[in-house]
């Protein structure tokens, strides 16, 4: 039996590197409020992600929630989105007093089915919030075409898509805004953190106000805001991790490719397709366990756990079917999303996962134990 293998493991710099990097904080005692390292990380991320503007946040959820709020949509308006996502996506919409309208997804990559968006648009629709699922890029051209036709905003949930490029452009360049998560489990992390990428420079001040209580001076508060600032310890973790990001991607790629090689011809095990015009960040390795495999998805999940391999049903159930949302919003015509949710299993993948463990996991699935 293998030692316990979790579905993911946080990437971290060496202890010595991080401790050396945080030493100056004991001189300045500036731990938050957009300090030196916060500003440096914003600058370096703009360069690395090849995007014009970026605002750091305390986490990815607040980044999405405040990005939505920054556009000032009227209460009760409708937002077309996907149910095949982490619950945060839907929470951010509802917590802005907006109504999610769930659109089905595509079987080949799990992203929102752009061919079904237009039928869901009403006079109350104000925005589309698609998700680059597992780093698979949505059909950004068609979504833009629809949004332009109906004067809708597009806010991408790019929590899975750090470092992904599409047609040689950073993924954060698409839509009116794109939101990243830098949670500890992500391919790039700041312990907890997130960011909003955008092109309209006026949005920077709006997001600044929203994440910092609307404070613009010692005696001046111009907006009603929240507290969503990233602290300096998190910013420094991000700077250290950014120094090693290419190495991280390369190590993940090796494990991703080994899974792909061993599982590529296993009957009943399918993999998502990705766009040939998009790069891959190797953030996840999801499989679909189809009916012609020797056991169900849930049985395979249980079998793996019995051998100390902790995969994840990611995403199951759909957000539209969760107890907090079920029967509150229209959630029919989601056949593909429900089928994927019932079959998907994300396998362990991280930079320091032993290659022999990857081989053992893949062979276990291939043999159908």
**Cα atoms in the 13 Å half-sphere on the side-chain side of 27:** 6
Task: Write out pLDDT tens, residues 240-280.
Answer: 999 999 999 999 999 999 999 999 999 999 999 988 999 99
Q: What is the pLDDT of residue 105?
A: 98
Q: Which residues, in sequence order, are bridge partners of residue 53?
A: 198
pLDDT tens, residue by residue, 283-305: 999 999 999 999 999 999 999 99
Cα–Cα distance list, 201 to 52, 54, 72, 230 (Å):
8, 9, 16, 20
pLDDT value, residue 331: 75
What CATH number is associated with residue 141?
3.40.640.10
26 occurs within a structural domain? yes
For residue 85, the model assigns a pLDDT of 98
DSSP string, 346-368: EEP--TTS-HHHHHHHHHHHHHT
Q: How many domains does the chain have?
A: 2
Is residue 9, in this structure, part of any structural domain at all?
no
Query: Residue 369: what pLDDT?
Result: 66
Rounded Cα distance between 60 and 193, Å, is 6
Instruction: Identify any residues that bridge with 286 across adjacent strands, giving them in sequence order.
Output: 346
Spatial contact of 156 and 132, defined as CB atoms under 8 Å apart: yes
Residue 276 lies in a domain: yes
Give the chain's residues under pLDDT 50. none
Question: Within a domain: residue 3?
Answer: no
For residue 290, is it within any domain? yes
- Tokens representing 247 are 């190495």
Range(s) of the domain holding residue 137: 15-243
Q: 261 and 172 in one domain?
A: no
Q: What is the pLDDT of residue 1?
A: 63
String of b and e for 239-251 (b: at least 16 CB within 10 Å)?
Answer: bbbbebbeebbeb
Residues 265 and 295 in one domain: yes
| Torsion sign over Cα 258, 260, 266, 269 | positive
E runs forming strands in 167-257: 169-170, 177-181, 194-198, 215-217, 220-221
């Amino acid at each position: 039996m293998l030692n316990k293998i979790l579905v993911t493991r946080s990437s971290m710099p060496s202890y010595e590197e991080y401790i050396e990097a945080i030493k100056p904080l004991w001189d300045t005692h500036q731990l938050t409020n957009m300090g030196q390292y916060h500003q440096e990380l914003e600058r370096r991320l703009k360069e690395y992600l090849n995007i014009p503007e970026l605002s750091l946040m305390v986490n990815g959820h607040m980044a999405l929630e405040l990005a939505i709020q920054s556009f000032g949509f009227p209460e009760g308006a409708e937002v077309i989105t996907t149910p095949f996502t982490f619950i945060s996506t839907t929470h951010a919409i509802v917590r802005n007093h907006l109504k999610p309208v769930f659109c089905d997804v595509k079987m080949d990559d799990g992203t929102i089915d752009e061919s079904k968006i237009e039928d869901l648009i009403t006079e109350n629709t104000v925005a589309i919030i698609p998700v680059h699922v597992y780093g698979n890029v949505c059909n950004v051209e068609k979504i833009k075409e629809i949004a332009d036709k109906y004067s809708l905003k597009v806010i991408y949930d790019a929590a899975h898509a750090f470092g992904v490029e599409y047609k040689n452009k950073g993924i954060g360049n698409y839509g009116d805004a794109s939101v990243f998560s830098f949670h500890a489990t992500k391919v790039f992390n700041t312990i907890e953190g997130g960011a909003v990428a955008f092109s309209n420079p006026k949005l920077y001040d709006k997001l600044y106000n929203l994440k910092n209580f609307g404070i613009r001076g010692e005696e001046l508060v111009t907006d009603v805001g929240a507290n969503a600032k990233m602290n300096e310890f998190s910013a420094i973790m991000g700077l250290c991790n950014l120094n090693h990001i290419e190495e991280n991607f390369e190590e993940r790629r090796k494990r991703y490719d080994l899974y792909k090689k061993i599982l590529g011809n296993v009957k009943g095990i399918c993999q998502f397709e990705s766009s040939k015009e998009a790069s891959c960040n190797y953030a996840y390795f999801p499989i679909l366990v189809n009916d012609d495999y020797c056991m169900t998805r849930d049985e395979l999940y249980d079998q793996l756990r019995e051998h100390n391999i902790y995969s994840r049903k990611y995403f199951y159930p759909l957000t539209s079917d969760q107890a907090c949302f079920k029967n509150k919003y229209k959630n029919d015509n989601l056949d593909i999303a429900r089928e994927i949710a019932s079959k998907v299993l994300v396998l362990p993948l991280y930079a320091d996962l032993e290659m022999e463990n990857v081989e053992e996991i893949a062979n276990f699935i291939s043999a159908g134990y």
